[in-house]
């Protein structure tokens, strides 16, 4: 009887052996797979969820977007006599004529970038404001483009605040830039070329990160900007209040940052390249809603 039991146990053990080994192998595999998943991933997902909730809460109450304070600051700056010539920007023609009163700023952003005969150039909102600050108010443009964007935690600079004001006055409208004059078409074509041109030490183009669906870098989803459907969703949200850096970021700033990610030379505010990329993005976003200032991660 006893001997039988021993035999039996041995038999069971032997039968168990391969299962045990398999189980151990399985545990080892699971453990090493778990070890390969950085703990940051789980944390990223939690952070993403929390940020999404925060954004949702801010969106539910549109007046809680801190970017609106910058739009107000921008409006005050726009209407105040400033600069060496001590004049306001109410004489700045954004495409709907110059002068005080509604109608000059309202809806102007929705039709930018556009060609301006006075400068013989295509300009986006920020480039146009820069031009007006120089020509009307007498500011030195070199000073304005030296450090045009805020560092983390700093408020958007004056030009950016005014761009936020101008954009906010088209909020709720649809992008309707015509971009059909020869120089406007040239600008869109140059933007298209630049968007797809690989360059810099990483040999990246904008398309490397923004011309496919569902790409992401760490936490950030990468919008498929080449696709009008996605471009219409996001382009009209700029300038946007950026939660992670606690300030409004303008489109010129956004593009500077993306070029920085490509390790390209610093993109100059108001440059032909910056306007061309904005023209291209605006063309892709044609018919999309303007919801500026938007809200970004």
Judged by CB under 6 A, the chain residues 167 through 206 that form the site for ligand HEC are 195, 204, 206
Options 2-10, 37-45, 138-146, 250-258: segment touching ligand HEC (CB under 6 A):
250-258
The distance of closest approach from Cβ of residue 138 to ligand HEC in the complex, given in angstroms and rounded to an integer, is 32
Question: Residue 222, interface with ligand HEC (CB under 6 A)?
Answer: yes
**Distance between CA 274 and CA 282 in Å, rounded?**
12
**CB of 181 or CB of 198, closer to ligand HEC:** 198
What contacts 241, CB < 8 A, 6 or more positions away? 65, 66, 67, 70, 247, 248, 249, 293, 294, 295, 296
Among 220, 229, 260, 265, interactor with ligand HEC by CB under 6 A: 220
**CB of 66 or CB of 83, closer to ligand HEC:** 66
Answer whether 159's CB lies under 8 Å from 129's CB: yes
Question: Residue 149, interface with ligand HEC (CB under 6 A)?
Answer: no
Question: Residue 209, interface with ligand HEC (CB under 6 A)?
Answer: yes
Site string for ligand HEC, 112-141 (x = CB under 6 A): ------------------------------
Nearest to 261 by CA among 220, 214, 231, 213: 220
**CB of 137 or CB of 252, closer to ligand HEC:** 252
The sign one gets for the Cα dihedral 16, 18, 19, 21 is positive
The sign one gets for the Cα dihedral 104, 279, 254, 47 is positive
Question: Residue 247, interface with ligand HEC (CB under 6 A)?
Answer: no
Answer whether 130's CB lies under 8 Å from 162's CB: no
Among 144, 234, 276, 285, interactor with ligand HEC by CB under 6 A: 234
Options 2-10, 161-169, 177-185, 254-262: segment touching ligand HEC (CB under 6 A):
254-262
The distance of closest approach from Cβ of residue 277 to ligand HEC in the complex, given in angstroms and rounded to an integer, is 5
Residue with tokens 């409006």: 75
Tokens encoding 93: 């023609």
Question: Residue 259, interface with ligand HEC (CB under 6 A)?
Answer: yes
């Amino acid at each position: 009887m006893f001997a039988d039991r021993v035999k039996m146990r041995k038999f069971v053990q032997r039968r168990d052996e391969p299962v045990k080994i398999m189980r151990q192998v399985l545990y080892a595999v699971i453990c090493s797979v778990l070890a390969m998943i950085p703990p940051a991933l789980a944390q990223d997902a939690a952070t993403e969820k929390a940020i999404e909730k925060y954004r949702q809460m801010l969106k539910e109450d549109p007046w809680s977007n801190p970017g609106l304070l910058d739009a107000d600051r921008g409006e005050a700056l726009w209407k105040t006599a400033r600069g060496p010539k001590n004049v306001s920007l109410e004489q700045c023609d954004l495409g709907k004529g110059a002068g005080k009163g509604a109608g000059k700023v309202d809806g102007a952003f929705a039709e930018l970038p556009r060609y301006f005969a006075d400068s013989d150039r295509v300009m986006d909102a920020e480039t146009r404001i820069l031009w007006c600050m120089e020509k009307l108010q007498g500011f030195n443009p070199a000073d304005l483009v030296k450090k045009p964007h805020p560092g983390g935690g700093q408020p958007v600079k004056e030009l950016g605040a005014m761009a936020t004001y101008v954009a906010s006055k088209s909020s709720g409208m649809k992008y309707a830039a015509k971009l059909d004059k020869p120089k406007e078409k040239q600008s869109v074509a140059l933007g298209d070329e630049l968007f797809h041109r690989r360059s810099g030490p990483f040999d990246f183009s904008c398309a490397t990160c923004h011309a496919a669906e569902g790409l992401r870098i760490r936490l950030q989803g990468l919008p498929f900007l080449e696709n009008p459907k996605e471009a219409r969703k996001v382009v009209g949200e700029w300038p946007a209040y950026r939660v992670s850096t606690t300030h409004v970021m303008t489109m010129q700033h956004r593009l500077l940052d993306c070029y920085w990610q490509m390790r390209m030379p610093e993109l100059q505010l108001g440059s032909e390249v910056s306007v061309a990329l904005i023209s291209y993005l605006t063309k892709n976003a044609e018919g999309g809603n303007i919801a500026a200032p938007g809200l970004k991660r």
